[in-house]
Amino acid sequence: MNGVGTNAQVGDYMTRDVVTVSPDATVGDVATRIAECEEHNGFPVCDRRRVEGFVSARDLLLADDDAQIFTVMTTDLIVAHPEMKVNDAARVILRSGIQKLPVVDDAGNLVGIIANADVIRSQIERATPEKVGKLVRTLENIHGISLRQERRTVPLGELVPTQGRVYADELEGRRYELDRGLAEPLVVIDNAGSLLLADGHHRVLAADRLAIEEMEAYVIVIDEPIDLGMARTAAKEGLEGLADIEVVDYARHPLVETIERLQEDAV
């Protein structure tokens, strides 16, 4: 499988099935479509597949219902290319305040759209050599030992999780990537033969549901067994295998629960 990380491209994360409107459509028709669909607050405006502009709900506010979209659409477009790095698209979205970027090919034809949510999804649960190196240094400092790193394939059935829950929306994102052959390596600690999953719980559970039996991993090797805090935590929570990981809805995320509680207290 291909790693993504900082080299992830827009084409890997964009939505390919894009809803568009015609330049000749009326403001009233497009306003109705926006009102009826929770997922869209605007559409690329295309003549066949060529992008002519973008129309948002804001563009429609003061327009007559019978006006045609080409008279109110934004034509000063910021677009992305499928081979553009996701990190670069993130910078454009952040600095411009635009929520969605049409993705066009070299001929200017629409091939997809990438939203800020897609960019966020691309950054969740990313393993990098720097992240692994930091974990190695932390373990070495705590335990006063020298460790080594390996890159190898690990059997998912032998992994001991160190995280008791994953979130359904992130799990779906990982399945999406795996279906398209995209997967970051896991981070695993080989504690003298005991394989502790340090990072990648959503990826592993998604792979397990797709009947994938092994994955690439950055492996931190400990030759002589040591007493690891994450191993104690896993044992305390009764985590022995992937079946012990609970899948919960995002609404039960601790941060969301905290925000909701603060809002209730403020009332």
Q: Identify the pLDDT of residue 245.
A: 92
Question: What pLDDT does residue 126 have?
Answer: 62
What CA–CA distance (Å, rounded) separates 260 from 156? 36
Counts of helices then strands in the chain (DSSP H, E): 10, 11
Q: Exposed, middle or buried, 79 (CB in 10 Å: 0-12/13-18/19+)? A: middle
pTM assigned to the model? 0.54
Give me the pLDDT at residue 36, please: 81
Tell me the torsion sign for CA atoms 114, 116, 122, 128. Answer: positive
* Strand bridging mode 159-161 / 194-199: parallel
- Residue 216 has what pLDDT? 92
pLDDT at residue 78 in the model: 85
pLDDT at 77: 82
> Residue 74 and residue 52: Cα distance in Å, rounded?
9
Q: What is the mean pLDDT of each run of 10 residues along the chain (267 residues)?
A: 57 87 94 80 88 90 92 89 86 76 90 81 64 87 91 95 84 79 85 92 91 93 90 89 85 49 50
Distance separating alpha carbons of residues 44 and 112, to the nearest angstrom? 10
Q: What pLDDT shows up at residue 21?
A: 93
The pair of structure tokens assigned to 82 is 């499928």
Distance CA 23, CA 6 (A): 37
